């Protein structure tokens, strides 16, 4: 089956999860939420899933409509308050955190504060929320963009909201990885077989290494089945695929 923007992003967000990890998805993070639910259904290893609504290891009967839907805490044996997962992260207890961004640069720094100058911005963004706490303290942070343009993947941020342990960036075209250390830059790891490395270079605002990059492996039967179940009505894919 050919990749769609929706299936490529959700599946490759899920593929960032490792066995035994404690994984967290943040506010307005529907695609990572779906990725975690996909991994629970498709992968043959255990990990702990915590979400911004407070659910720990939720067992939703219905697929949540968003990362703030009460359905996302159904069946949870425990509920975390905001200060609980911020404290857990600050103590080094979160292995993988999904955080969104408006802009990102080659060193994994993010902007969710303002586009244009701080004094007179073109767009005032929502602000960092927990990003300034979680990006430097989580062991690994993964972000995503539903578009892949030089406006989002930039050489220089308009404002640096947060920096730290960003290790992966997933778009409909590509998966970039970097080491969680200062000065490390993104490199192209895998790309959507329906595009080319040259096209990715042209549509990325920062320079990156693509040595050794390979086409993405197809979805497994388990991944495909889980994604079809999670998006049975097509409401999520329609929002991403257009």
Q: What is the pLDDT of residues 153-197, one digit of tens each?
A: 999 999 999 999 999 999 999 999 999 888 899 999 999 999 999
Residue 1 has pLDDT above 80, yes or no: no
CATH number, domain containing residue 61: 3.40.1080.10
Give the residue among 180, 165, 176 at the shortest CA–CA distance from 206. Answer: 176
> What average pLDDT does the segment 118-125 reach?
91
Q: What integer pLDDT is reported at residue 31 of this predicted model? A: 94
pTM of the model: 0.94
Is 239 a member of any domain? Answer: no
Q: How confident is the model at residue 72 (pLDDT cuts 50, 70, 90)?
A: confident
77-112 tens-digit pLDDT: 988 888 888 899 999 999 999 999 999 999 999 999
Which carries the bigger pLDDT value, residue 76 or residue 17? 17
Q: What is the structure's pLDDT at 74? A: 87
Tell me, yes or no, whether 94 lies in a domain.
yes
Q: What's the whole-number average pLDDT of the chain?
A: 93
User: How would residue 53 be classed by pLDDT, with cut points 50, 70 and 90?
Assistant: confident
Residue 241 belongs to a domain: no
Residue 80 lies in a domain: yes
Tell me the residue range of the domain where 140 lies.
5-232
Measured CA to CA, the distance from residue 104 to residue 152 in angstroms comes to: 6
Burial class (CB in 10 A: 0-12, 13-18, 19+), 97: buried
| Residue 21 belongs to a domain | yes
Residue 165, in any domain of the structure: yes
| Number of domains making up the chain | 1
Phi, psi of 187 (to 5 degrees): -125, 150
In a domain, 89, yes or no: yes
pLDDT tier at 61 (50, 70, 90 boundaries)?
Answer: confident
**b/e per residue 131-170 (b: at least 16 CB within 10 A):** bbbbbbbbbbbbbbbbebeeebbbeebbbebbbbbbbbbb
Q: Is residue 237 assigned to a domain?
A: no
pLDDT digits (tens, 9 = 90+) for 211-225: 999 999 999 999 999
For residue 208, what pLDDT band results from cuts at 50, 70 and 90? very high
């Amino acid at each position: 089956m050919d990749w769609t923007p929706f299936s490529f992003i959700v599946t490759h967000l899920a593929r960032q999860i490792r066995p035994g990890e404690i994984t967290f998805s943040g506010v307005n993070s529907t695609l990572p939420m779906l990725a975690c639910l996909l991994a629970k259904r498709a992968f043959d290893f255990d990990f702990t899933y915590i979400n911004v609504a407070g659910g720990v290891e939720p067992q939703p009967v219905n697929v949540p409509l968003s990362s703030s839907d009460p359905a996302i805490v159904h069946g949870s044996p425990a509920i975390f308050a905001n200060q609980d997962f911020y404290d857990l992260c600050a103590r080094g207890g979160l292995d993988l955190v999904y955080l969104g961004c408006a802009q990102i640069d080659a060193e994994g720094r993010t902007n969710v504060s303002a586009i244009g100058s701080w004094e007179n911005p073109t767009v005032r963004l929502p602000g960092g929320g927990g990003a300034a706490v979680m990006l430097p303290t989580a062991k690994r942070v993964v972000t995503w963009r539903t578009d892949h343009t030089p406006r989002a993947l930039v050489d220089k941020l308009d404002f640096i909201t947060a920096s730290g342990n960003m290790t992966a960036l997933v778009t409909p075209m590509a998966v970039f990885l970097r080491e969680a250390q200062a000065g490390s830059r993104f490199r192209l790891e895998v790309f959507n077989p329906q595009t080319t490395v040259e096209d990715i270079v042209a549509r990325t605002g920062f320079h990156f290494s693509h040595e050794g990059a390979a086409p993405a492996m197809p979805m497994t039967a388990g991944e495909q089945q889980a994604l079809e179940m999670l998006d049975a009505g097509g409401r999520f894919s329609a929002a991403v695929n257009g």
